[in-house]
Structure 1
Amino acid sequence: MIYKNYPMVSNVVFGRGSFDQLEEILASKRKGRNAPFIFYVDDVFKGNHWLTSRITLSYKDKIIYVPTKEEPRTEQIDQLVEDVILEFSELPSGIIGIGGGIVMDVAKAVSLMLTNKGESKDYQGWDLIKHPAIYHVGIPTISGTGAEVSRTTILTGPVRKLGINSDYTPFDQVILDPELTKDVPRDQWFYTGMDCFVHCVESLNGTYLNAFSESYGEKAFELCKEIFLENSLSDEEAQDKLMMASWHGGMSIAYSQVGVAHAMSYGLGYLLGIKHGIGNCIVFDHLEDYYPEGVTIFKQMKAKHNIELPQGICADLDDDQLNTMIDVALSLEPLWENAIGKNWKTVMTRQKLLELYKKM
């Protein structure tokens, strides 16, 4: 048997206020006056001097605010890459993503496409990237997606929603500063935290499970229960622990895989533009047959935090639209094999998926 040699983030800083070390960290990576650092920042921070004033710009460095109402699209990445190539005479010294999963995925995708020719849609899939990305840094401002540690950057393309999964995708440097998550809206905190929880459930119940992924998944699972079901944590403790849960949940799926909720959520995201976190919640709420214990705990968390999920989102879809979602979901074969096993195609039929989607 040949075991996959997965890359990990090579440098990580954790701690409240560690964001202020960014300038020092980047200094040794600068390649010259004409090779800027480009900072992709969630546009929720536009005008937020508490964060942006702490980003030091030198020479041709630039902040670009990224809209996050929609998840990243391949054509958006291609345009950002073209903008960089046209504006600067040299490749950037590095790409820094500051925000949630959307912004970190943008940063990862741009850093990859600056060194790999063609369009980003051509690299949606597994191990299609051939050349290392330029230096890239991830700084999460919300916890749960695991984007800071994963080897994928999730993109919606012309025919599917699928990540660029490669050994060159993970960040070279991550700064984990829980203080940056202090102003996250309550609903968003829940949806993104549940992305982490679902990572754990799908990893721990998958056929790809091994001792490596299990050790990370179990830790993240316990942290999620502590954060979302107990009352003993201060706000700061909860922020610290959720950032660690996100990291461990991301590590768990890095050496295994996700499952049913993620596959179906990709269908919702592609057709309806539903963001990943809330999409996972909408789907997971109906997966008692696949993850009975996890769904029971999820419903307890949902009730405790008075979360009302959207209902009837698939009620008015026609057959073509439903089939499009089913096609997107079924294209994610590794997710289904992890969830159900090698015989998954005989278990998860189009009719079964149709019935599940119609519940939502």
Structure 2
Amino acid sequence: MYRNFRIVPNIIFGRGAFNQLGDILKPKRSSGGSMVFIMDRVFSGKPLESRLPVAEHDLVIPVNVDDEPKTKYVDALTAQVKAHTAKACGVIGIGGGSSMDLAKAVALMLTNPGSSVDYQGWDLIRNPAVYHVAVPTLAGTGAEISRTAVLTGPEKKLGLNSDYTLFDQVLLDPELTAGAPKNQWFYTGMDCYIHDIESLHGTYLNAFSKAYGEKSLELCRQVFLEEHEDSADRLMMASYFGGMSIAYSQVGACHALSYGLSFVLGTHHGVGCCIAFNVLDDIYPEGVREFREMMTRQEVPLPQQLTRGLSDQDMDTMVKVALGLEPLWENCLGKDWRNHMTPARARELFSRM
């Protein structure tokens, strides 16, 4: 049986496209209710916030993404929206991957009972989400196109993986990525590059994933190893293609290990992927070599010795979280992956981070 998966139905791309957000939202306002803008708080008081098409009764929530999105934060945001309006007619996520994941999760929890903890896993969501829109201001995570809202819960880091998680509308405006701190720009872009490497070298690879992955990889190389005036445009499309590549395949060892790193240390996803990828020479040798070349060319440092001095309990927790992501390991190493990635080997990889 082949997966019959959904994709985002509406996408607008182009410099200045953000100016059309009000027109895009207008038909959804006909039913009444409030639009909810979940915006990275870095834009509070900045020109972007003043450009939001906010109408009477709408709600703007500047969100704190200093930490990776947590289930308790999603539940608190959902409660805040419900206290503001009995009917949210749309949720708009503005920011990087964390802001978009928060928007996806809140849109889901407005129509599904209980806590977001209850839905960490695959296809546990039962009711369609509120209409929701992605406006990325960073490029690389693929959150704008993925069916996952990645959340850290009390026991695990695992996404709300569902066809209902997908955005209804994506607005891709490369102008919005201008001014991002260079390290953050690089680490987020490397998330996309690593998506491509893991997809293209995985056991789940197929012509669909390969077509998107190869184009995304080509664009990443143009952005990080060459000079182009439209690099922002290229990276935004690389992110989209990279997200599509893993939609019909899967990520691999790097993402599994980065989840363990993030769960224990709170390491942000982009830089966490870079730290994990840097120790995977034996699994992705050419990819790691090229990653280091990109890092050198862009003059971006990589945090070192994050796991030095961690307790045995913390190390065991990281290993447990990482090895719990079975589809990622199967894509990376095959159905007998447990014979190749033992707890001892995973621990040794973490010790090198």
TM-score of the two chains, using structure 1 as the length reference: 0.97
What is residue 86 of structure 1 aligned with on the other side?
83
CA offset digits 1:235-272 (Å, max 9, x no partner): xx000000000000000011100000000000011000
Equivalent residue in structure 1 for 2:306, among 304, 313, 319: 313
Aligned pairs for 1:66-81 (under 5 A) are 66-81=63-78
Q: What secondary structure does 1:153 align onto? A: strand
Name the aligned partner's letter for residue 257 of structure 1. Q
Bigger mean CA deviation after superposition, 53-62 or 119-128: 53-62
Task: Give the structure 1 partner of residue 134 of structure 2.
Answer: 138
Q: Tell me the distance in 2 between the aligned counterparts of 1:178 and 1:264.
A: 30
The residue that corresponds to 2:14 in the other structure is: 15
1:46 aligns with 2:44: yes
Q: In the alignment, which residue of structure 1 is the partner of 2:267? A: 274
Matches within 5 A, 1:27-176: 27-33=26-32, 35-49=33-47, 51-88=48-85, 90-176=86-172
- CA shift for structure 1 position 56: 1.8
Letter of the 1:189 partner, please give it: W
Pick one of 335, 339, 346 that aligns with 2:328. Answer: 335
**1:86, CA displacement in angstroms?**
2.1
Give the unaligned 5+ runs of structure 1: none
Deviations 1:106-133 (A, max 9, x none): 0000000111111101100111111110
Per-residue deviation, 1:31: 4.3
| Aligned counterpart in structure 1 of residue 243 of structure 2, from 241, 244, 250 | 250
- CA RMSD in angstroms comes to 0.8
Q: 1:126 and 1:269 mapped to 2: Cα distance?
A: 20
**Alignment partner of 2:62: what SS?**
strand
Q: Which residue identity lines up with residue 10 of structure 1 in the other structure?
A: P
Deviation at 1:308, TM superposition (A): 1.5
Question: Which residue identity is paired with 1:85?
Answer: K
Contact 1:135 1:172 in 2 (8 A): yes
What is the rounded CA distance, in whole Å, between the counterparts of 2:312 and 2:30 in structure 1?
Answer: 54
Query: Using the alignment, how far apart are the partners of 1:216 and 1:147 within structure 2?
Result: 16
Distance across 2 between alignment mates of 1:300 and 1:123? 39
Letter in 2 for 1:131: N
Amino acid at match of 2:84: E
Counterpart in 2 of 1:187? 183
Is 1:218 matched with 2:251?
no
> For 2:114 and 2:330, how far apart are their aligned partners in 1?
30
CA distance in 2, matches of 1:193, 1:100: 11
**How far 1:72 sits from its partner (Å)?**
0.7
Kept in 2, the 8 Å contact 1:15–1:176? The answer is yes
Q: Deviations over 1:132-162 (max 9, x none)?
A: 1010000000000000000000000000111
SS of the aligned residue for 1:240 comes to helix
Contact preservation (8 Å) 1:31, 1:93:
no
Taking the aligned partners of 1:328 and 1:159, their CA distance within structure 2 comes to 9
Gaps of 5+ in 2: none
1:123 touches 1:164 (CA, 8 Å); kept in 2? yes
Q: TM-score under structure 2 normalisation? A: 0.99
**Residue number among 191, 198, 208 corresponding to 2:194 in the alignment:** 198
Question: 1:306 offset after TM fit, Å?
Answer: 1.4
Aligned residue type for 2:79: E
Kindly indicate whether residue 298 of structure 2 is the aligned counterpart of residue 300 of structure 1. Answer: no
The Cα of 1:20 is off from its aligned counterpart by 0.4
Q: Tell me, what secondary structure is at the counterpart of 1:317? A: coil
Residue pair 1:77, 1:106 contacting (<8 A) in 2 also: yes
Q: What residue in structure 2 maps to residue 26 of structure 1?
A: 25
Matched, 1:262 2:255: yes
* 1:305 Cα offset (Å): 1.2
**Cα distance in structure 1, aligned partners of 2:293 and 2:232:** 20
Q: How many residues align?
A: 353
The CA deviation at 1:27 is 0.4
- The aligned residue for residue 3 of structure 1 is 2
Aligned to 1:209: 205
> Residues 154 and 161 of structure 1 are in contact (CA less than 8 Å); yes or no, is this contact kept in structure 2?
yes
Q: Which letter does structure 2 place at the counterpart of 1:106? A: L
Q: Give 1:326's aligned amino acid.
A: V
Q: Provide the secondary structure at the position in 2 that maps to 1:164.
A: strand
Report % sequence identity: 55
Taking the TM superposition and a 5 Å limit, the aligned residue runs for 1:231-246 are: 231=227, 233-234=228-229, 237-246=230-239
